[in-house]
Amino acid sequence: MKKILILSATSGEGHNSISRALKKGFEEKGAEVKIVDFYKECSNRYKTWTLDKGYKLACKYARPIYNACYSSLIGKKGSKTSNRTLNKLNNIIEEYKPDVVIATHIFVATTLANLKEKFGLKATSVYVVTDYSEYPYVADTAVLDYIILPHENMVSQFLEMGFIESQLLPYGIPVDAEFSVYKDKVEARSDLGLDDKFTLLVMTGGGGFGNIQKLLKQSVKAEGNYQIICINGKDQKSYKRIKRFVEKNNLGNVTNLGYVDSVVPYMNASDCMLGKCGAINLTEALNAWVPVICRNKLVLQELNNYEFMRDFDAIIGFRKYKDLPNLISHIISNENTLNNVKKNILKVRKLNATNDIVDTIMSY
């Protein structure tokens, strides 16, 4: 039985969700799988807080500074990892003795690369890239055996950084296979107790990151016959504020939800999704064939994701919140707008990413 060690990191819910998708895929093929939250097991509380809560605060309140710092590190090499962290990770690997180690976060991948150079690594090493662009210090991961890329258009970019073509596998970002299962929207809405009419899903990720209140308050100003599903994630304050707003304005066309175990039923019921442009959330929507609307004033890696999709005309962007009512009104009254985006989504999405990754790794 092949043993797979997946190293994840809690930075929102995205990296954990693709780790779970991979785990499910490997277990279906008969492998033994263990997921380790790298920063919780190998780092200190400060770094764990910085990666998750600190990242969200920086993006929300200091986006220009964050983007400037992030941009200055693109193309850089020479990531450093403390001996303490390397020893902890090495102990985990030595104890579990995996055949394959998979990193699903850039900082984890650079640490794995540093460990391989210092201690050596018998296991096959794999890094799953989870944005549609390069990262700071990503060139350091060239020592790993395989790099899973979100799309073949990224291969040339990685070759220029010193990777070799045989280690680059453009299979896509692995998400749960449920997102790829088509369900009739009339049936999906009925299952959720919703009316059969144009449905907008407003969602900014499981961690509750993003200004969902502004998105909703502008969305309800749109004209037309439509309904809104608002998913707040773990942000209870946002859920309560929106609840008060909906009740105060008697908005019968808004379904306000907190954290949900699965967003799949809500995506199946929706015509399009309004939210952030994190690559994992974006990939889930692409696989569900749900066009995404997002603000093009973003943290840099999300802006890169937006621009990658924009090059395919597979996304809809807006700059100012006040633009949303007219944009949504136009989309509701002009079905060709979404139909054209959906045609272009077919050029980008990788429905079999998880299976392709699993099958390739299981064949080694």
Query: Residue 59, Cα to own-chain centre: how many angstroms?
Result: 16
36 in the same domain as 184: no
pLDDT at 141: 96
- Among 121, 141, 170, the domain-final residue is 170
Same domain, 322 and 182: yes
For residue 118, the enclosing domain spans 3-170
Looking at the structure, tell me whether residues 71 and 181 fall in a common domain.
no
Determine, yes or no, domain membership for 358. Answer: no
Which of 170, 187, 218 corresponds to the end of one domain?
170
pLDDT at residue 208, as a whole number: 44
| Domain-located, residue 361 | no
Q: Does one domain contain both 192 and 291?
A: yes
Same domain for 201 and 161: no
In this structure, the answer to whether residues 131 and 240 fall within a common structural domain is no
Q: Give the torsion sign (CA, 172, 178, 179, 181).
A: positive
Residue 37 CA to residue 15 CA, distance in Å, equals 10
341 falls within a domain: yes
pLDDT per residue of the chain (364 residues) written in tens, 0 to 9: 899 999 998 766 678 889 999 999 999 999 999 999 988 888 765 454 455 555 566 666 666 676 667 666 677 676 778 889 999 999 999 999 999 999 999 989 999 999 999 999 999 999 999 999 888 889 999 999 999 999 999 999 999 999 999 999 999 999 999 999 989 999 999 999 999 999 999 997 644 455 888 999 999 999 999 999 999 887 788 889 999 999 999 999 999 998 898 999 999 999 999 998 889 999 999 999 999 999 887 778 889 999 999 999 999 999 999 999 999 999 999 999 999 999 999 999 999 999 999 999 999 8
Instruction: Judge whether 336 lies within some domain.
Output: yes
Helices 63-73/300-311 angle, 10° precision: 70
Same-domain pairing of 13 and 131: yes
Q: Which of 170, 201, 216 is the last residue of a domain?
A: 170
Same domain for 136 and 217, yes or no, is no
**Residue 364 domain-assigned (yes or no):** no
| Secondary structure element (H or E) that encloses residue 163, with its range | none
Across the chain, where does the E strand assignment appear? 3-8, 32-37, 100-103, 124-128, 146-148, 168-169, 198-203, 226-231, 254-257, 272-275, 292-295, 316-318
Q: pTM for the full model?
A: 0.90
In this structure, the answer to whether residues 149 and 204 fall within a common structural domain is no
Residues 194 and 82 in one domain: no
Neighbours of 30 (CB within 10 A): 9
- Does 360 reside within a domain? no
Q: How many domains is the chain built from? A: 2
Measured CA to CA, the distance from residue 333 to residue 315 in angstroms comes to: 18
In whole angstroms, give the CA distance from residue 347 to residue 311.
11
Sign of CA dihedral 204, 208, 214, 219: positive
Check whether residue 130 and residue 211 sit in a common domain: no
pLDDT at 65: 74
> Are both 62 and 133 inside the same structural domain?
yes
Q: Would 154 be classed as within a structural domain?
A: yes
54: domain CATH number is 3.40.50.2000
- Asked if residue 360 lies in contact with residue 169, where contact means CB atoms within 8 angstroms, the answer is yes
Domain assignment of residue 352, yes or no: no
